[in-house]
Structure 1
Amino acid sequence: MECASGGCWRTITVAPAAGQSPQDLARAMGLAEEQTLPPTLFDPMSVYLGAKPKDGELIVYLGYQ
C-alpha cells in the first residue's frame, strides 16, 4: 500500500490467461473503465478502481481519496 497527500492506493499485477489480452481481462473483470464510488456512511472517502495494460499484463489499482 502506498499513500500520499491525495490518499492511499494499492496495485496488483495480473497476468492474463494464455490467448487473452490484458484489455480482454480488464473487460471480464468489469474494469474496462475507471470507476469512482462516492463516499458512504461506512466509507467516508471516495473509492476509485480501474486497470491499465502494461507489458502484456494488467495493472489493477484501488485507491481512496
Structure 2
Amino acid sequence: MSVIEQAVVGQPAGHLLDAAVTADLVVIGRRTPSSRATPFRIGHIAHAVLHHCPARVTVVPHD
C-alpha cells in the first residue's frame, strides 16, 4: 500500500471524493471537541465524505 499526499486548491470534500475513486482508504482528521461541545460531532467535510465516498473512511480525532 502507498500513501499519496497532495496539496490542492478548492473544495476539500470534492477533492477527497475525487481521490477516493481509486483509493482503498480515506483518512480524515477532526478536531477533538472542547469539554462543553458534543463529543462525537464531525465537521461538514467529514460528513460529506462519509456519506458519498466509494472507499472506506476513517475519521481520526486530533488536537
TM-score (norm: length of structure 1):
0.29
Alignment TM-score, normalising by the size of structure 2: 0.30
Larger Rg: 1
